[in-house]
Structure 1
């Protein structure tokens, strides 16, 4: 039990360094990981497979400390889509996705109303 509690605390310390993106409420990776770790601890999954959680801890630590970002620096300032980091953050925000869904809905409504007008 002590090993499981220690592993749980180490993972929580790493996750505290991971910022929560408020623009992605309900879809944020940091928030998802915190919930998954808490659920696993409450259902005693840490005790069942401590080696698995030690590996998870090491992986999270590498991600939080940007180990791969430093090891493999990017030369380009844009992504495969041609967007910059800031533009990608805006495109993935909840507000932008809501706008896209509203536009889709209005487009579909216009399309279906157009087809029903053709039948008349």
Structure 2
């Protein structure tokens, strides 16, 4: 597993990237998160799983970074999906209507299967 600072780590399986987010994303660390996604989504991977099991709070700037990454992934024929979403973050995604754009799955295997199925 490659480590990219304290906030994110990346592991890959074939053409799918699994990104572990190690805690909450606030205004003081969202730029690191945005830079990480910009570096790895689309240039390297278009199929990305964001593990949000350790994320209890996420700022609007980080949501914007995820939307941008999802757009880049879609343009490259892939998608960004979430796994292990905490209830508070899930509620935020539902309120902002991002839950209708960003798929939320139960675990890594479900996400890998979903992203590996041709559409």
Name the TM-score, length of structure 1 as normaliser.
Answer: 0.24
- Greater RCO (Cα-Cα under 8 Å, separation 6 or more): 1
**Greater strand percent: which structure?**
2
> Which of structures 1 and 2 has the bigger CA Rg?
1
Name the TM-score, length of structure 2 as normaliser.
Answer: 0.24
**Greater helix percent: which structure?**
1
